[in-house]
Amino acid sequence: MMKKRISSLAVMLVMLFALAIPAAAAPEGANTDVKIVVDGKDLTSQFNEDTLWMEDGITMAGVRALGEAVGADVRYDSATGSVVVEGLKQATGVYSPVADYEYLVGAAAWQMSAEAHALMMQAFNIAKENVDEMAAAADAAKDQTGYYWQTANGGKQLMYQGKRVAVVSDIDDTLVDGVHYTANILGRNGEWTNKSFADFVMSDGCTALPGAVEFINHCVENGIEVYYVTNRYDQGYKTSQPQYAGQTGYKAKDGSIIGSSVYEVVGKTFYDISMESMERLGFPTDDKTSPNYSASVHLLVNDNKINGSSKEGIRQIIATGGTWATGERVAESKAYPEKLQLSSHHIAMVVGDDLNDISQIFSAEDVDAVSRVELAIENMDKWGAEWIVLPNAVYGSSVNYATAYGITDLFRYFDYTNKTTAAWDIYQ
């Protein structure tokens, strides 16, 4: 799903908290929660809970140093318990709604370009060739040590060393073109909300990326299991449950309610909305059987408010087998099973527009913007073979890792005159 970007200033402030520089005068007391307000905008929600604390009456933050360094006013408002930064918009371009907007316009323009569409079709053409190679290997197989065919449910199934062959794919900006949603929001000065995104998915303006439908159908027609894995999670616990009486919205990991759920707003779950949309676009959405092939198609959703954007848990269940609990909206969904019992699979390809869709190695705690590049190059042989990536300059990990100090590190790392990093060495 379209993910709202965290502002670059928010990321900078989070990092500066670690500097432990005293901010403006603060009330006495230890470990008191405070707010962060910049030019009238409350940014508290953009910080994780571990950063908002006081010790011995002093806000441990680099906010004061940052603000005063660029000529902004920083003070502590005891009445509201807020660290207030004023004049930052005028003093620096670091935090600027205009800059954010201009970045998104530029990113969307590239996403709509002929070059981006060429990369999309190139990715799917390569992925289809991979399917053909696996099928050819099965045709030539003399035993079950590699790829081979088995007949079941009235058709042929592609196997690898005793396991069903599977392809795991993200949906948004991987199979479905989200740039139309971006263009609508930017062109009409709209808001990034699950309601507006649900409206987009249900509309005729939601289209498939070029080559995506053909690729997925090619997988099914060669007896390959397909798993759509998405962060389109409805995220709202049923408000009919007694413990949530009178509350509406997504339930965060700490139990707080943080927004309106899609089901309450549009009357459908994201699962049902997604299945209807995928079927309308021509993607297979159920079991397919013919004399020539037999394959199943599944849609799995990731509770990204609990698991984050990583889909490693789902990938592991698909690979090793097990039970996947499908979500909190089972009662309201027309088609969503409460649980899926999966057998083990050989995952031949993983497809996504974000490296978090591909592997957990790109989202480990010790990974930063530079090491992600190094990891990508270290795994050169997997791109175009096991891993298929689609271009996305609008949102996602590539954008998040490049904010604040990340982009500075990348500039320093790739600067050809910087002899301390010599980034060109990683290409050799």
Residue 126: pLDDT over 70 = yes
Domain positions in the chain are: 8-95, 110-394
Q: For 135-164, b where at least 16 C-beta lie within 10 A, e where not — what string?
A: beebeeeeeeeebbbeeeeebbbbbbeeeb
E-assigned strands of 114-162?
A: 147-152, 155-160
User: For residue range 48-97, what is the model confidence (pLDDT) as tens digits?
Assistant: 444 443 434 444 345 555 565 556 777 777 777 777 777 655 444 444 55
d(CA 111, CA 120): 10
With respect to CATH, is domain 110-394 assigned 1.10.1670.10? Answer: no
* C-beta separation of 6 from 399 below 8 A: no
User: For residue range 291-319, what is the model confidence (pLDDT) as tens digits?
Assistant: 789 999 998 887 655 566 678 888 999 99
Q: What are the tokens at 120?
A: 């999309």
Residue 105: pLDDT over 50 = yes
**Is the pTM above the cut of 0.75?**
no
DSSP state of 402: T
